[in-house]
Amino acid sequence: MGDVVSSHLDESRREMITARTRDVMREFGDIYEEQYAVALFNSVRFEIEGGGGAQSQLLHRKDPLAGRSIFSGSLFQYLEENRKWRNRFVSVPNSYNISLYESKTAHERGLHPKITINCAGYKALSSMEEYMELINTSLPGIKAKVGSNPFIKCATQFPLILWHPYARHHYFCVMTEKEQKKWHAVLQDCVRHCDNGLSEDCTVQTPAFTDAVRLHRQAKGHYGTWDMMCGEPPQILANLVMETLHPELRNVIGPRLKGKMQQKQRNWMLISDAVYKQVLSQTTGQYEALVEACEAQRVPLDARLRTDMDQIITSKEHVSSKIRAMVLPKAEQLLRNSIQPYISSILEALMEPTSRGFAEVRDVFFRELVEISKNSLNGGGKGKLGDHMERLSMLAFHPVKMQSCYEQVEQLNLEGLQQRFDVSNPSVFVSRAQILMREQMDNAVYTFEQLLHQSLEAQGEEDMCKTIQRCQDRVLKKYDYDSSTVRKKFFREALLQIIIPYMLQQLSPSCSPELPRFKELIFEDFSRFLLVENMFEEVVLQSVSKDIMMAVKEAAVQRRHNLYRDSIILTNSDPNLHLLGETPPVDWGTKFGGDEPESSVDGGIVEGGGSGKRRRQVVSMIQLDGVPLPYESCLEVPGVELIPEEDPEVSEDREGGQGEDEEDQDLPEEPRSPDSVNEIRDLINPVVEMVLPVPEASQTDMNDSTEPITGTITMEDGLQEDVTHVTTVVDNVPRKSPRDKSSPHTILQQLIGSKKQEADKEHQEETAIKHAIEEIEIAVQEDDSERIAEAAESDYESSTTPPLATDSGSHGDSGFQSPTSAGLDQGELQPIKNSLNGEDKTIDPVEVEVVLA
């Protein structure tokens, strides 16, 4: 494999890749330095003038995943080095990077993972068919046959694949379809999080970087949305280099690859991954140097801006008015002819799936609160409330619970509009909507937590159900307003992302040549902060903003989209609530004693905060210890996971048999398979055990033995079973009161019934039993304990089968009373002697074991 890479990527070709990367980074660096000064100007101006949109009604959690891990479990990974599948332990911390370890023990010891995967730019696939469709288009001039076999053979029928257009692919598989769905949801969440874009907290670096990338691509003729604008800046820059470098290398190297089609595909993937790693290492170092150089100039630039802000703003407005006079006539004509007729259809395509997704978020949140209310009505107590709130706190970050919400937005389809407006892929808008849905869910959960905690502190825990419902109603109203605001903002941004690149592409050929003459109107001292290219784009944006705002307002009137009209303003409607946002998050486990059990199943690592606890896990999937390797995989344990992944009424609450609550341990066990050969034999030949006392004198002649016998015995349910063996077991039993056992007539009748059918072999034993019963009944009626003892002793001496003998000793486990003796003195029990001289001797019983066919 290494020979293939080295033979096609020799020293000269690697130097060419290095030079190409350096050229792209130099071009990008020049644009970035210009945009850095513009972004700094906009940031300082916003800080001075203020502004902003409508105030959010829900509270925002600052660090929701602190002390949490997302997921851990075991699956099979395909190793390309030896083309074999190996079991790996996977941990997904709150950074959403996937770490694979040799074993769970290696993870718990803090060893370095075998590999760490950053999912930015990947696609999570769950079928070989999807993967082969992408692979078969990777090399030019090679047309794979329909249904052609992949170059890897999956160990199971439930694969999971991470595909990347440039980097290495990763292959996994699990044992069941249920596990595959959970793993796929987690992998999708990792990709979604890593593709979320750059942090908005960086008010200078982030806009400077995004504008520089966009302008660089526009200079190359690429105006539309870009689905590889994902990951950290070095990754985005590597994608920017590979966007042009990758097709060139493929056209040069592809025809030289040897072997069958599958082998060519495998070799090209290895070569592409090697190129991507080389490019990424260069972009990482060069971008860090670029940012460091710009940051060094930030202080003097900031000082100049604050000194001359008024003059800079005045100069910008003057130049913008000149550019507007040139651009507006052309822009308005373009709007009328090519854009306005399509705005409503674009908006409708965006709104339908997005509104369904946000409605599903509301429903999922409501269902979780209903479960909490049910718990309070059923007297669940403080501990149960703490457990429910712990689960609820991580609802937004539970990919399996949120999957139904995400799936609604995945139905977004811009077919017919993509070609017209150069939209490469709707996945850009799908991912953004899903991130907004997750944020709104977490805001709703956090607001409910703070309101409930405040109410419980003020009113106590009396009538908790009404308190929960009041908080629930308040939060749902605020969610409705915030989700409407967030969706309208999302629709406006999405329309701008679709329309503005198209307008720039149409207007640039006629307008760009005239822009340099406007530079003469800008003072040289302000030229770093005012760029005519940026002002031209702002004019184009302003020209279409009014039409977009009107379209969104008209859509808000339609009830089916559940949007509030802009005239409904709730700013500062609940000032006391926003004061709660400054308080620290509630630790429900500590407050109500509902901490989930500390267990190794979470696969977490020990936090450095000194608590000594493991990181609590959002999704809990574990492997069963001791299971053979081919069957070792991740399983759901609802008792320990933070959020049940399914409806508790239909979920398999005892799968895995671990992590049960204490009260669940008293429940009857469900039928299960026998675990040993002896259990299987007992199922085939049921065993009935009966205990009868014998005199001490007879015990010396008794040994543990089994005698074959034929007959029947009547069971408790009335059915008759065949008797095949009678096993005699001698054992000592502690003394008990005669009242501890009921009348033995039932036991004796069962034994007599079985002996009647074997009169030829056991006639002598049957006679002894009948004689013993008659003597015992006479003795009870006369209430003569000595006569009972004499009769029993004489009968035992005449009996030839000790297992069938009876005794009325008061210390035997089978001591009994007849109905005639039930009315005797109840206040004091009279001891029963088993000898004529009045000595009280311990009588050991005989256990009779009857084996049924």
- DSSP class per residue in 92-118: EETT--EEEES-HHHHHTTPPPSEEE-
**Alpha-carbon dihedral angle through residues 173, 412, 331, 225, given to the nearest 10 degrees:** 0
Domain ranges (residues) in the chain = 1-45+201-229+232-296, 69-194, 684-820+828-852
Write a three-state SS string for 759-784: HHHHHHHHHHHHHHHHHHHHHHHHCC
β partners of residue 688: 850
- The whole-number pLDDT of residue 83 equals 85
**Element housing 87 (H / E):** strand 84-93
698-to-751, 763, 808 alpha-carbon distances in Å: 20, 20, 15
Q: Among 137, 128, 122, which residue's Cα sits nearest to residue 228?
A: 122
Does domain 69-194 sit in CATH 2.30.29.30?
yes
| Helix 427-459 / helix 399-409 crossing angle, nearest 10 deg | 130
742, 814 contact by CB (below 8 A): no
- The whole-number pLDDT of residue 681 equals 52
Residue located via tokens 């598989």: 173
183, 174 contact by CB (below 8 A): yes
β partners of residue 849: 689, 727
CA 824, 827, 831, 836 dihedral sign is: negative
Phi, psi of 621 (to 5 degrees): -135, 130
Q: How many CB atoms lie within 10 A of CB 12?
A: 7
* Mean pLDDT split into 10-residue runs, the chain, 853 residues: 75 93 95 94 88 76 84 90 90 92 92 93 92 81 58 86 94 93 94 86 90 93 87 94 92 86 87 94 95 93 91 93 93 91 88 92 92 75 75 89 93 78 82 94 92 80 80 91 90 91 92 90 88 93 90 78 60 57 62 45 34 58 41 36 43 39 40 48 56 53 57 62 62 47 50 50 60 61 46 45 41 40 44 46 46 47
Angle (CA) 78 84 87, round 5°: 60
268, 275 contact by CB (below 8 A): no
Query: How far apart are alpha carbons 571 and 578 in whole angstroms?
Result: 11
Token digits of residue 652 = 């398999």
Q: What is the DSSP letter of 687?
A: E
Token digits of residue 210 = 């995004």
809, 815 contact by CB (below 8 A): yes
Residue located via tokens 């150069």: 422
Token digits of residue 664 = 């669940």
User: Reduced to 3 states, what is the DSSP secondary structure of residue 743?
Assistant: coil
Contacts of 325 (CB under 8 A, 6+ apart): none
Q: What is the DSSP letter of 337?
A: I
Token digits of residue 666 = 């008293």
Q: Among 119, 651, 587, 95, which residue's Cα sits nearest to residue 400?
A: 651
Q: How far apart are the first and last CA of the chain?
A: 65
Residues in the chain: 853
Locate all alpha helices (DSSP H) within 594-737, ordered by sequence. 677-684, 696-699
Token digits of residue 48 = 């001075």
Query: How far apart are alpha carbons 574 and 572 in whole angstroms?
Result: 5
657, 675 contact by CB (below 8 A): no
Query: How far apart are alpha carbons 211 and 202 in whole angstroms?
Result: 14
Q: Among 475, 292, 463, 447, which residue's Cα sits nearest to residue 376?
A: 463
User: Reduced to 3 states, what is the DSSP secondary structure of residue 69?
Assistant: strand
- The whole-number pLDDT of residue 791 equals 44
Q: How many CA atoms lie within 13 A of 578 on its CB side?
A: 8
- The whole-number pLDDT of residue 579 equals 59
> Residue type for 760, please?
D
Query: How far apart are alpha carbons 322 and 392 in whole angstroms?
Result: 56
Q: Among 848, 823, 821, which residue's Cα sits nearest to residue 832?
A: 821
Radius of gyration of the chain (CA): 40
Q: How many CB atoms lie within 10 A of CB 629?
A: 9
β partners of residue 320: none
Q: How many CB atoms lie within 10 A of CB 630?
A: 12
Query: How far apart are alpha carbons 356 and 362 in whole angstroms?
Result: 10
813, 719 contact by CB (below 8 A): no
585: left (phi over 0), alpha (psi -120 to 50) or beta: beta
Determine how β-strand 123-125 pairs with β-strand 115-117: unpaired
